[in-house]
Amino acid sequence: MKTYDPIVHEAASGAVKETHADPITTEVVRHALNSAANQMKHALMRTAFSPVIYEVLDFAVALYDKDVRLLAQAPSLPMFMGTLDFCIREAVTNVGGVEALEPGDVLLYNWPYGTGSHPQDVAMVMPVFDDEAGLIGYTAIKGHWLDIGAKDVYCTDTVDVFQEGTVFPGVKLCARGEIVRDIYRMVVANSRIPKMVEGDMNATIVAVRAGGIALKRVFQRFGAETFWPCVEEMYNHGERVVRQYFESIPDGTYVGEGILDNNGVQDHPIPFEVTLKVEGSQVTLDYSNSPPAQGGPINCPVPSTLSASRVAISMLAGFGEPPNEGMFRALTVITRPNTLFHPLPPAPCYLYGWPALQAIEVIYNAVSKAVPDAVPACSGGCILGISYSGWREGSGEPWADGAPHPVGQGAWNGGDGGTMLHIAESATRFTPLEVWEQRDPWITERMELAQDSCGPGQYRGGPGIDFEFRFTEQINMTAAIERAHNAPWGLAGGGEARPNGASLKYADGRQRDFSKVTRLAVPSDAVFTLRTGGGGGYGPSNERDVERVKADLRNGYISEAYAKKHYPHAF
């Protein structure tokens, strides 16, 4: 394998620009921009066809300035947060550069090494113009379309990028406000479920246009003389907030270690590490010691490697504020080409998100070696993505659906872990059971917090969830599950939690366990059990408050046998 030198990825926003912007006006501008981003989000949700968009919120919407710096992002999918700037730059470059853009243009882009995602995560970009100022920024959306012609509706076993879906390498879907019909027809033609994809594509066009109108309105409300200084001060403030947090971490080099179950094709574990280097208020995350790019689809392209880094940092240091470009100025990321976190074409990367999720946990593992009480223990560490497809009995109509699932979160020094989607998807959700049963051919027979799935400790981890689905028609299923072989770790003496898992029980009593599988044919009346992992515990179990142990017993989070094993002092 050819070796490459490491590449340093520094914040694109560069040096601080001193401003004299009024702080109150700056806050008004910041909130106005966040409101504009939320208008985009709600326009997409109200008009989308697929539950994966309007229920799960498997998308990100954002506003960028003319220099492709993040102005505002609506709460949706954080993992896409750090990738949209790549999408904009690559899409604009591939249509001929900024000089080729005109009012009303909408660009389509989904080349995985530029979006950081599998091709189904399609980016749509719209330049926004003011009549006097010219180009003022961009609206961008990246969302999951259910099918665009990969080897299957969802995949865990691809061996090159060309099996993973139709590629649109930066083309104009709309030119001067009019849909380019040839491109539109190509998108629809390359889908097994054209009605749903067409509906979501039109909804995304609506949403980027709504965002463009809202961004232009904010710009014109304040005028260039006020707007741009306020934007620079907004970035500066975001940077100050993050740097203040980093200064509380002792200088040094800390290594976080993780392991992936397998690459989806070869069944062998894949250990990796991320090195955290802290120097004052500057943090570097170094992935250059990653294993080689894999023959299965768990490779994570650079945009998502950077995004995982940004999510991990902003969740720690952002104090819950909506992100902007300034928050990333203090972060440098190093990768080595042709490795797990910097694959090169045509390496498969359909499951790019699964190593990215693990990277966030590993970054926190590294931080814990510097400041143990600054981070939680390991979560279930996965979204347990399940995709379904088939043809409806009676009508013969093709259908598809899919969703992530919640896991237990790690405990921290001060509280027990909760149960929710992984923090990389913290503003998304899984489909309500009523919607599933109304749209899809199954009955949900069980969904309950899993007893004894939490990691023990002075503060216990959050419990996982047990799901049971009984299928009423024959379907095809794809499952993408990580941490099935590696239990979530505890911190500061806390215990491990239950790992993830899944099984299928057939009507004749046979059972099949699995974690990653593509297009598994499932007959009617089979029962699918999904076991989402718990969160690791924090602190020694013998220091847990007795009343908390008793409360957990009353609430059914733990059994008496579990309590006697881990908390004998309570008896």
What residues does each domain of the chain span? 16-238, 376-571
Nearest to 518 by CA among 294, 404, 350: 350
Identity of the amino acid at 171: V
pLDDT of amino acid 551: 97
Say how far apart CA 87 and CA 124 lie, in whole Å. Answer: 8
- Which residue reads 């066009």 in tokens? 205
pLDDT of amino acid 15: 54
- Which residue reads 């749903």 in tokens? 196
Instruction: Indicate the SS3 state at residue 53.
Output: helix
- Token pair of 154 as six digits: 């969802």
C-beta atoms surrounding 469 within 10 Å: 27
Nearest to 81 by CA among 318, 341, 299, 334: 318
- Token pair of 394 as six digits: 């009676």
Instruction: List, in sequence order, every residue forming a beta bridge with 195; answer none if it has no partner.
Output: none
Identity of the amino acid at 291: P
Is there a contact between 242 and 318 (Cβ–Cβ < 8 Å)? yes
- Flag whether the pTM goes above 0.85: yes
Identity of the amino acid at 437: E
**Tens digit of pLDDT per residue, the chain (571 long)?**
677 899 999 875 455 567 789 999 999 999 999 999 999 999 999 999 999 999 999 999 999 999 999 999 998 888 887 799 999 999 999 999 999 999 999 999 999 999 999 999 999 999 999 999 999 999 999 999 999 999 999 999 999 999 999 999 999 999 999 999 999 999 999 999 999 999 999 999 999 999 999 999 999 999 999 999 999 999 999 999 999 999 999 999 999 999 999 999 999 999 999 999 999 999 999 999 999 999 999 999 999 999 999 989 878 886 677 788 998 999 999 999 999 999 999 999 999 999 999 999 999 999 999 998 999 999 999 999 999 999 999 899 999 999 999 999 999 999 999 999 998 887 788 888 999 999 999 999 999 999 999 999 999 999 999 999 999 999 999 999 999 999 999 999 999 999 999 999 999 999 999 999 999 999 999 999 999 999 999 999 999 999 999 999 999 999 999 999 999 999 9
User: β-pairing, 331-335 with 282-286?
Assistant: parallel
Q: What is the DSSP letter of 543?
A: G
Collect all residues with Cβ–Cβ distance below 8 Å to 567 and sequence separation of at least 6.
Answer: 456, 541, 542, 544, 546, 549
Alpha-helix residue ranges (DSSP H) falling in 282-344: 302-317
Strand order in the sheet with 59-65: 70-73, 59-65, 134-144, 121-130, 106-109, 169-175, 178-179
Strands (E) in 472-510, as ranges, are: 475-480, 501-505
Q: Prior bond to 346 cis, omega within 30?
A: yes
Instruction: List, in sequence order, every residue forming a beta bridge with 433; answer none if it has no partner.
Output: none
Say how far apart CA 193 and CA 147 lie, in whole Å. Answer: 7
Nearest to 263 by CA among 170, 366, 211, 340: 340
- Which residue reads 């699932």 in tokens? 405
- What DSSP string runs through 302-316? HHHHHHHHHHHHHHH
Nearest to 520 by CA among 506, 539, 532: 506
Say how far apart CA 118 and CA 80 lie, in whole Å. Answer: 12
Nearest to 305 by CA among 490, 482, 117, 170: 117
pLDDT of amino acid 17: 65
pLDDT of amino acid 429: 85
